[in-house]
Amino acid sequence: IQMTQSPSSLSASVGDRVTITCRASQNIGNYLNWYQQIPGKAPKPLIYAASSLQSGVPSRFRGGGSGTDFTLTISSLQPEDFTTYYCQQSYRTLLWTFGQGTKVEIK
Amino acid sequence: EVQLVESGGGLVQPGGSLRLSCAVSGFTLSSYWMSWVRQAPGKGLEWVVNINQDGSEKYYVDSVKGRFTISRDNAQNSLYLQMNSLRVEDTAVYFCARVEKTTKYGAYGDYYDYYFMDVWGKGTTVTVSS
């Protein structure tokens, strides 16, 4: 299963609302997770099962979608949100794939 | 505190071998699936392999099948990745991660298990170069 994120990068300002899209090459139901990675650090889970917020993650992060098309929306960008985000499918038999990543940069 | 600490990375020549270890603490290893994920320099994340709680089920990305072997020792609170026939393209930071399972119930008594990697180590660097 191939995962394609768009855009690969985006520029935004503090307080902006941004949406990242992830498309699967086949129907994966809602077996879709989102991670945030700060450079030089391990990834951090944000959203699992397409729309469930991981414990401790701020409510400005929201996941949506099902089937082949998914979104990660950050409602009001904070300074610490300018980093890279990955989607990951967890459909069926634990053969997983990540999207290529989306870098959110300061405008 | 839940913690994963990888070790064993280093510089190896193409065709060589390395064994990575992941020492876990703060939780019962035998209760969780575990994963290895890697990240080549300047590139994105690549899932490598999953192993179930007792080591009887293993799933590998195609690019490492036949060369890498995952194993675990629950009594020693450790996860391993034996990497043989290493290639230049295996150069990466290797992360171990705990797999969390969440069950959601449908309206008709059906249920669905969702998996995601909820705790990660800081990674160990593997460089394959002559």
Q: Tens-of-pLDDT digits for all 107 residues of chain A?
A: 999 999 999 999 999 999 999 999 999 999 999 999 999 999 999 999 999 999 999 999 999 999 999 999 999 999 999 999 999 999 966 789 999 999 999 99
- Nearest CA to A66 out of A87, A49, A80 is that of A49
Give A72's strand partners: A20, A63
C-alpha to C-alpha distance for A46 and A58, rounded to whole angstroms: 9
Q: Are B90 and B128 a contacting pair, CB within 8 Å?
A: yes
Predicted pLDDT of residue A41? 97
Residue A40 at interface with chain B, using a CB cutoff of 8 Å: no
C-alpha to C-alpha distance for B87 and A101, rounded to whole angstroms: 24
In chain B, residues with a C-beta closer than 8 Å to the C-beta of A96 are 35, 47, 50
Predicted pLDDT of residue B121? 98
DSSP annotation of B15 reads T
Predicted pLDDT of residue B97? 98
Going by pLDDT thresholds of 50, 70 and 90, the confidence category of residue B92 is very high
Mean pLDDT computed over every residue of chain B: 96
Residue B125 at interface with chain A, using a CB cutoff of 8 Å: no
Predicted pLDDT of residue A74? 97
Residue type, A94: L
Tell me the mean pLDDT in the region B75-82.
98
Predicted pLDDT of residue B77? 98
Predicted pLDDT of residue B116? 95
Predicted pLDDT of residue A93? 65
Give just the sign of the alpha carbon dihedral B90, B93, B97, B103.
negative
Question: Does the pLDDT at position B18 exceed 70?
Answer: yes
**Which tokens in the block code for residue A14?**
């503090």
Q: Higher model confidence: residue B105 or residue B124?
A: B124
Q: How far is B23 from chain A (nearest CA, A)?
A: 16
Going by pLDDT thresholds of 50, 70 and 90, the confidence category of residue B5 is very high
C-alpha to C-alpha distance for A64 and A79, rounded to whole angstroms: 23
Number of cross-chain residue pairs from A and B with Cβ atoms under 8 Å apart: 64
Give just the sign of the alpha carbon dihedral A81, A84, A85, A88.
negative
Q: How far is A100 from chain B (nearest CA, A)?
A: 6
Predicted pLDDT of residue A92? 67
Least confident of A34-38, A79-83, B89-93, B100-104: B100-104
Predicted pLDDT of residue A95? 87
Phi-psi region of B29 (alpha: psi -120 to 50; beta: other; left: phi over 0): alpha
